[in-house]
Amino acid sequence: MWAPIARTAARTPWATTVAPPPPARLPWRSGSTWLLAGFLGVQSALAYGYLAWLAPDMQSRGWPAGRTGALLSLLQFAEWALVLPTLADLSRKRDRRPALVGSVACTVLAATVLFAAPTAAPWAVTTVLGLGLGGGFSLALVLLADLARDAQASSRLAAMTFLICYSVAAAAPVLIGALPDATHGYAPAFGVLVIVACVELAMATRLRPSLRETVRCAALT
């Protein structure tokens, strides 16, 4: 009964076996991918570091818990609500370095003030910090799509980038938190964050549009 049907189905084009696509490879040999992963790792380390230790630092200076909680809320609000509409327009530009450098420069400025004069205009400084952190992170996510040649390459690039950056960022609060325990003060920890922000600024200047071709070549090998 089923033999004629099976023979007919075997002769139809749609019944032809299609070879599976080759396994996708992560672009481990792409220096541009490592640069973007490092940038996101440094940026996330800064964000986690300030989220973890900004409030304890302010409380050590006599701030009540409610006030420090409001300061952290302002930081997170500035990271997202104030930058996304602007970045939606900036994403149309080919070279994102001016926006990236501007965002990271805000982070460097705020980090320097929080280290040198933490009680000088903390609300304004925290707002600038949030703008810098949110802008840098959002634009780096846009670069994940910029540097890939198609959707599959973008997913591989994102997989490798997030594996590296969040592995780095997860250790940041612990390592930074070890400094106050060792030095009995938060100044060394916030000094390290200034250095990290300066490293991020240097990396932002290297995220040029021509990196797209190097990522594409590495993904094909």
Residue pLDDT, tens place only, 200-212: 999 999 988 776 6
**Mean pLDDT within 55-62:** 92
State the pLDDT confidence band at 220, using cuts at 50, 70 and 90: very low
Considering the chain, what percentage of its residues have pLDDT values greater than 90? 39
Conformational region of residue 207, where left means phi above 0, alpha means psi within -120 to 50, and beta covers everything else = beta
42 in Cβ contact with 194 (< 8 Å)? no
CATH architecture for the domain at 50-220 = Up-down Bundle (1.20)
Domain boundaries, the chain: 50-220
Residue 22 above 70 pLDDT? no
What DSSP designation does 147 have?
A: S
How far, in Å, CA of 167 to CA of 63, rounded? 32
Q: Which helix (H) or strand (E) holds 146?
A: helix 122-146
Residue 151 CA, distance from chain mean position: 19
Residue 117 above 80 pLDDT? yes
pLDDT at 30: 74
Residue 89 above 90 pLDDT? no
